[in-house]
């Protein structure tokens, strides 16, 4: 063998060894574990409303069936990015599919159900492989923005089919309109409201929070003040007590022995807290520059002080503790007030049967804002049959509305269906909460929504979540420094997808 050949063999062997060393089959020494061929749980995704609050079960993913024979157009309906993958939801969904197929002989609608934990990865794989589903839903804003750019603008289809949008609030239509067009139609909405425990207010002689947007609040001294977050802070501090019955306003108050908190913002993220002070975006109009609105900073500082200085908001350790509901805080019965969405009625069975709902406080400049979650069905941009897909969406949102809304626990965006839904809620909650508050909140939804688009969406949410975890875990955070760092990090994150 000559020198050249030997060199070539050696080089190939060395490269082989190097690449083999990088292969996933390597058996590392303890304590590192070997890479087992296992389906890992998907990373944490933004919370989804309604039935997804209960952990999705491990219903097996049902792959799409082969295309129907004949001249039928096959439409694939992907379920799992939001609710819809629980076992008890399958029969109603199958019924919806069967009814649709019976009524549409030219279309073969096929379901693909994926568990929530695997849905993001599955959807990403299908998009990347050029085999996207046609219809996706029900999916909320967060789930949809994780695949920003993948959705069809339905404007032309709405015009062509003369789709009737007069039976929904115009704000709910605007909710799904972005710079990329009308990407969804109103289906299920979940306005936010202030859940509160009247008994706790009675105990300290406080007036209840106002139920009408724009009403003032009566303080203990009889003065009428604006119902905003400053007022909420004041009364929340009066409603927070330690085991000796002292409040944060009292000398000798011990924050380590609090038995009742005045306020908790359940399931809210930093953008949601920011939107309490007024809806905004964390992206400039150019779509690639970070913006941290000044009022977001103010809202975050208010919230942080509420946890560590004024002590009326629980920290993460408290929220996670079993004594305070193990993340289902208001349900523990130890919180006087909580902001949450309508879908929270799924999970409130232990909060007693006396709670009620009130208007969300106004922003510091007096604006009425009630944040919204909303689910709908979307059509992928690369669907080969957009017209047929739109027919499916139209059918699910209208003809199957009652069947599916009941399945998903969603409040109808259609005004003509809302009365029946509220009647069902009254049966479930005998104290008959003031649902009118929730209806009144619809026009005040936050646009831009607190889950609206940012570049590199999932990574942005992740980075914000890291900052939020820091705030809830440590009482000595330099907020200005961390926010400055957040801004730099977010710009790097945006640049990854916008350059």
Distance CA 411, CA 464 (A): 29
Q: Is 495 exposed, middle or buried (0-12, 13-18, 19+ CB in 10 A)?
A: middle
Closest contact distance (angstroms) between CB of 21 and other proteins is 7
Rounded Cα distance, 495 and 489, in Å: 10
- Is there a contact between 325 and 332 (Cβ–Cβ < 8 Å)? yes
Largest CA distance in the chain: 102
Instruction: Quote the least distance from Cβ 493 to other proteins, whole Å.
Output: 8
Dihedral sign for Cα 346, 349, 354, 359, please: negative
Q: Distance (Å, rounded) from C-alpha 257 to C-alpha 327?
A: 18
Find out whether 163 and 66 touch, Cβ atoms under 8 Å: no
Q: Does the protein bind other proteins through residue 27 (CB under 8 A)? A: yes
| CA 181 – CA 327 distance, rounded (Å) | 37
CB 302 within 8 A of CB 274: no
With CB under 8 A as the contact rule, the residue among 153, 215, 399, 489 that binds other proteins is 489
By CB under 8 A, tell whether 25 contacts other proteins: no
Instruction: Compute how many residues bind other proteins; rule: CB under 8 A.
Output: 64
Spatial separation of the C-alpha atoms in residues 233 and 301, rounded to whole Å: 13
* Interaction of residue 287 with other proteins, rule CB under 8 A: yes
Q: What is the dihedral of CA 135, 139, 140, 143, to 10 degrees?
A: -90
Residues forming a β-bridge with 380: 151
Closer Cβ to other proteins, 156 or 489, answer by number = 489
Asked if 244 is part of the footprint of other proteins (rule: CB under 8 A), the reply reads: no
Give the residue, chosen from 216, 428, 485, 487, that forms a contact with other proteins under the rule CB under 8 A: 485
Residue 20 sits in the site that holds other proteins (CB under 8 A): yes
Chain positions 299 to 358 lying near other proteins, rule: CB under 8 A, are: 320, 322
Q: Tell me: does residue 476 bind other proteins (CB under 8 A).
A: no
Q: What would the x/- binding string for other proteins be over residues 420 to 459, using CB under 8 A?
A: -----------------------------------xx-xx
CB of 446 to other proteins, least distance (A): 23
By CB under 8 A, name the one of 22, 60, 102, 285 that touches other proteins.
22
Asked if 292 touches other proteins (CB under 8 A), the answer is no
What is d(CA 406, CA 89) in angstroms, rounded to the nearest whole number?
10
8 binds other proteins (CB under 8 A): yes
Task: Name the phi and psi angles at 32, rounded to 5.
Answer: -65, 145
Give the residue, chosen from 101, 289, 327, 498, that forms a contact with other proteins under the rule CB under 8 A.
498
- Based on the shown chain and the rule CB under 8 A, indicate whether residue 285 belongs to the binding site for other proteins: no
Closest CA to 281 of 350, 356, 192, 179: 179
Choice between 33 and 69, CB closer to other proteins:
33
Among 32, 60, 102, 285, binds other proteins (CB under 8 A): 32
The encoded tokens of residue 53 equal 């609050």
Q: Which residues in this chain contact other proteins in the complex, by CB under 8 A?
A: 1-2, 5, 8-9, 15-16, 18-23, 26-36, 38, 40-45, 117, 120-121, 124, 127-128, 147-150, 287, 320, 322, 455-456, 458-459, 462-463, 465-466, 469-470, 473, 485, 488-489, 492, 495-499
């Amino acid at each position: 063998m000559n020198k050249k050949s030997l060199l070539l063999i050696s080089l190939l062997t060395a490269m082989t060894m190097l690449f083999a060393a990088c292969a996933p089959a390597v058996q590392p020494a303890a304590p590192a574990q070997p890479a087992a061929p296992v389906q890992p749980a998907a990373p944490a995704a933004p919370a989804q409303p309604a039935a997804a609050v209960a952990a999705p079960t491990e219903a097996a993913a049902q792959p799409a069936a082969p295309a129907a024979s004949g001249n039928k157009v096959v439409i694939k309906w992907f379920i799992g990015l939001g609710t819809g993958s629980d076992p008890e939801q399958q029969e109603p969904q199958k019924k919806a599919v069967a009814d649709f197929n019976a009524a549409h002989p030219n279309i073969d609608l096929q379901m693909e159900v994926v568990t929530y934990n695997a849905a993001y990865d599955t959807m990403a794989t299908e998009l990347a492989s050029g085999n996207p589903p046609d219809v996706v839903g029900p999916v909320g804003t967060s789930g949809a923005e994780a695949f920003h750019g993948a959705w069809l603008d339905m404007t032309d289809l709405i015009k062509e089919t003369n789709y009737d949008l007069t039976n929904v609030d115009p704000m709910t239509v605007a909710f799904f309109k972005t710079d990329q067009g009308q990407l969804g139609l109103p289906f299920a909405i979940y306005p936010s409201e202030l859940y509160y425990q009247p008994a706790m207010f009675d105990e300290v002689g406080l007036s209840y929070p106002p139920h009408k947007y724009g009403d003032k609040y009566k303080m203990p001294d009889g003065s009428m003040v604006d119902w905003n977050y400053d007022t909420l802070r004041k009364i929340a501090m009066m409603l927070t007590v330690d085991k000796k019955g002292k409040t944060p306003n009292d000398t000798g108050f011990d924050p380590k022995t609090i038995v009742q908190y005045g306020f908790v913002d359940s399931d809210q993220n930093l953008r949601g807290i920011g939107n309490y002070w007024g809806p905004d975006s964390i992206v400039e109009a150019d779509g690639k520059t970070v913006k941290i609105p000044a009022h977001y900073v103010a809202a975050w500082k208010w919230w942080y002080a509420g946890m560590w200085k004024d002590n009326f908001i629980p920290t993460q350790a408290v929220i996670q503790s079993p004594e305070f509901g193990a993340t289902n805080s208001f349900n523990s019965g130890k919180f006087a007030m909580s902001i949450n969405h309508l879908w929270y009625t799924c999970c409130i069975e232990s909060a007693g049967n006396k709670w009620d709902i009130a208007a969300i406080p106004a922003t510091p400049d007096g604006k009425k804002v009630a944040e919204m979650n909303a689910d709908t069905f979307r059509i992928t941009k690369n669907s080969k049959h957009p017209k047929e897909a739109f027919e499916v969406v139209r059918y699910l949102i209208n003809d199957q509305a009652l069947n599916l809304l009941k399945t998903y626990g969603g409040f109808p965006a259609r005004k003509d269906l809302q009365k029946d839904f509220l009647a069902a809620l009254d049966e479930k909650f005998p104290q008959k909460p003031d649902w009118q508050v929730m209806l009144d909140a619809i026009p005040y939804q936050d646009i831009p929504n607190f889950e609206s688009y940012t570049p590199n969406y999932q990574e942005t949410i992740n980075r914000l979540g890291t900052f939020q975890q820091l705030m809830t875990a440590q009482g000595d955070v330099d907020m200005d420094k961390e926010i400055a760092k957040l801004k730099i990090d977010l710009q790097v994150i945006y640049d990854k997808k916008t350059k």
